[in-house]
């Protein structure tokens, strides 16, 4: 089958079997093209709340498919590729989190949404890169134990000086590859370009940016900006999607190493496989689902 034939077959199956295909912004171009909705982690979680489809194929990584299942237990939820996990989501052992909670008993426990369902059961609230500042500013607690991404955590800490943060040494193995030297090199090569960055990058990289935001935030900013050149500090698919959508502008990846291999695992044949009902269906025990849902509900309540 050609790419086009496969895309047509996916579109036919979506209609026939009442399937919603969701794609995170880092997915391959040909996958995004067959998705009903593409966005950042927060937008995907919000979108699924009002979706009426019986089946959902989540093209992204495991915690994203789990979030869909947590919010919509009545739907059959498929993860586009069974091996697609977010390494950061599994960095913290639940036992260690239990002991950290004992160490900081007055702190609210805030989990980046890039965590397993099991870890979420131990947290008070979830956040995403686009909603963290808004949500954490509204918490009554002054102290916050933020897991697992220390880079996002440090960025939010800089925005909320009234809060006291505790971190662990977690983070994204992809975004950590970008360095301050990469920024200096690219700024020298493209002096007129604006530098847009994801807050999962090292804090010293984030501090050099003209705009800091989620994957959707970066895309919206670049599309709306009057500027015509941009250095993109996140997975390189964002520069690629923007180049398709804004052919009159120029997008330069901050580093060739900014590639999330987990996000790239999903291929069009994987999506087709899920649409025929053969992919991995997400299952969660009702106990875990219910407990994990509390902190996602709180995210939506405070995040708006």
Q: Does 116 bind ligand 13P (CB under 6 A)?
A: no
Count of residues in contact with ligand SF4, rule CB under 6 A: 14
Rounded-to-integer distance, Cα 130 and Cα 228, Å: 24
Rounded-to-integer distance, Cα 221 and Cα 26, Å: 17
73 binds, among ligand 13P, ligand SF4, none (CB under 5 to 8 A by kind): none
Rounded-to-integer distance, Cα 117 and Cα 207, Å: 31
Site string for ligand SF4, 81-120 (x = CB under 6 A): -----xxx-------------------------x------
Site string for ligand 13P, 193-232 (x = CB under 6 A): -------x-------------xx-----------------
Rounded-to-integer distance, Cα 268 and Cα 31, Å: 6
41 binds, among ligand SF4, ligand 13P, none (CB under 5 to 8 A by kind): ligand 13P
Rounded-to-integer distance, Cα 52 and Cα 30, Å: 24
Count of residues in contact with ligand 13P, rule CB under 6 A: 12
- What are the E-state strand segments in the chain? 19-24, 37-39, 55-59, 76-79, 108-112, 125-127, 143-147, 164-167, 194-197, 211-212, 229-233, 250-253, 280-281
Place of tokens 């900006």: 225
For ligand SF4, the closer CB: 14 or 60? 60
Q: Does 129 bind ligand 13P (CB under 6 A)?
A: yes
Site string for ligand SF4, 247-266 (x = CB under 6 A): -------------x-xx---
Name the residues that contact ligand SF4, by CB under 6 A: 61, 86-88, 114, 172-175, 200, 235, 260, 262-263
């Amino acid at each position: 089958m050609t790419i086009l034939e496969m895309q047509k077959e996916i579109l036919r199956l979506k209609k026939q079997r009442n399937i919603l295909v969701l794609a995170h912004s880092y997915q391959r171009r040909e996958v995004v093209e067959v998705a009903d909705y593409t966005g950042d982690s927060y937008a995907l979680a919000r979108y699924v709340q009002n979706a009426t489809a019986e089946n959902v194929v989540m093209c992204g990584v495991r915690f994203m498919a789990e979030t869909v299942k947590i919010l919509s237990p009545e739907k059959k939820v498929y993860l586009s590729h069974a091996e697609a996990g977010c390494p950061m989501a599994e960095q913290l052992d639940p036992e260690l989190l239990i002991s950290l909670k004992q160490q900081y008993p007055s702190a609210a426990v805030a989990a980046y949404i890039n965590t397993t369902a099991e870890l979420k059961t131990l947290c008070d609230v979830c956040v995403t890169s686009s909603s963290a500042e808004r949500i954490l500013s509204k918490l009554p607690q002054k102290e916050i134990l933020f897991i697992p991404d220390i880079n996002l955590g440090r960025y939010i800490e800089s925005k909320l000086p009234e809060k006291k943060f505790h971190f662990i040494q977690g983070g994204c193995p992809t975004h950590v590859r970008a360095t301050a030297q990469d920024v200096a090199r690219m700024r020298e090569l493209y002096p007129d370009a604006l530098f847009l960055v994801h807050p999962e990058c090292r804090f010293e990289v984030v501090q050099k940016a003209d705009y800091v935001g989620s994957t959707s935030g970066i895309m919206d900013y670049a599309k709306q900006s009057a500027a015509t050149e941009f250095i993109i500090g996140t997975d390189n698919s964002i520069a690629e999607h923007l180049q398709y959508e804004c052919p009159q502008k120029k997008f330069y990846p901050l580093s060739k190493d900014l590639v999330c291999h987990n996000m790239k695992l999903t291929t069009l044949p994987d999506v087709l496989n899920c649409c025929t009902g053969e992919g991995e269906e997400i299952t969660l025990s009702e106990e875990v689902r219910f407990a994990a849902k509390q902190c996602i509900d709180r995210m939506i309540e405070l995040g708006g």
